[in-house]
Amino acid sequence: MGDDMRRMSDELAHEPGSRVFVPLGEALRQQHQHELALKVALRGLERHPHLAEGHDLLARIYVDRGDIERAFDEWDMVLRLSPGHAGALKGMGFICFQRERFIDAERYLAAAAAAEATDVQVTTALQHVREAHAEVRRSTEVALAAEYPDDSRFLFVDVLRDEGQTALLLDRDGLVLAGAYVADDGRDVAQDIGAELSGVTDAARRTTRHLAMGDWTSIVFETEVAVVAMAPSPQDGLLVLATSRATPLGLVRRLLDHCSARARGWLEAGV
């Protein structure tokens, strides 16, 4: 036993109510003395049941022991006692990721990243969660498209392959004809977006003609979180494409062309 651990053990022996049980338990945990660390943590929490750092220690010990359910409960307790606790947020994010609860994992890790902006491990983990979520969602969409080939929600699935890419085909009144727009929380907000964009085609046509620019063919917007491209579609409809800000504009235009061709073919087939 090192000098620091011996000192902490002596302090705890002389003063059982000391909060030194937290660093002592962590030192034991790091030395893989999990059983002893568990006893120290549990005894300490008997005297300090509302100490967030004590529950955080116990959660990490449970993870080391493979008891994920109890670890989850302990980190949940930490967040009740100390909302915004970075260690608990990271822990909850880890467990949710293991359970493939990607939306919850992203929420916890995003909060942890906001609390500790310089923590590279958190930002890296957050990126991995987002990539895994996108891949699972993509695989699900492809499987559904194969199972339901006539479902117009999956019209653009094989055209849009990367994370953050989605497309909608709207009629002149903003009603969704094809495609989907899934928000971060898993909701399809396509109808809401369509309602907001009703009339865009007519407005764009009037503007370009007023400026003697001829008929409009496409518009590209760069926002804080995405790149949005629009193009007119047959029957006075509108095609909307959204991609991540990292997508080169040349690729955005190519994707818009591919989606437009897919939409025209689908409409001409009278599906």
Q: Could you tell me the CATH number of the domain that includes residue 211? A: 3.30.450.30
Tens digits of pLDDT across the chain (271 residues): 567 888 888 888 889 889 999 999 999 999 999 999 999 999 999 999 999 999 999 999 999 999 999 999 999 999 999 999 999 999 999 999 888 888 888 889 999 988 887 888 888 888 888 777 766 666 655 655 555 566 778 788 878 767 678 888 888 888 888 888 766 666 778 888 888 777 776 676 677 676 777 777 888 888 887 888 888 888 778 888 888 887 888 888 899 898 889 888 888 887 5
Q: Residue 139: what pLDDT?
A: 63
Residue 263: closest CA among 220, 222, 230:
230
| pTM higher than 0.85 | no
| Domain count along the chain | 2
Q: Beta partners for 222?
A: 227
Q: Domain with 32 in it: what CATH number?
A: 1.25.40.10
In a 3-state reduction of DSSP, which class is residue 219? strand
Same domain as 107, residue 72 = yes
Same domain as 190, residue 123 = no
- Whose tokens are 């120290």? That residue is 40
Same domain as 50, residue 165 = no
Range of the domain at 261: 151-268
Reported residue count of the chain is 271
- Over the Cα atoms of the chain, what is R_g? 27
Q: Residue 271: what pLDDT?
A: 52
Is 138 inside any structural domain? no
- Looking at beta carbons, which pairs linking 188-197 to residues 24 or more positions away fall under 8 Å? 188/153, 193/168, 193/240, 194/168, 194/170, 197/170, 197/230, 197/238, 197/240
Same domain as 68, residue 30 = yes
Other beta carbons within 10 angstroms of residue 19's beta carbon come to: 16
Tokens representing residue 59 in the block: 């959660």
Q: What is the DSSP string of 62-124?
A: HHHTT-HHHHHHHHHHHHHHSTT-HHHHHHHHHHHHHTT-HHHHHHHHHHHHHH-TT-HHHHH
Q: Residue 37: what pLDDT?
A: 94
Q: What is the DSSP string of 102-113?
A: HHHHHHHHHHHH
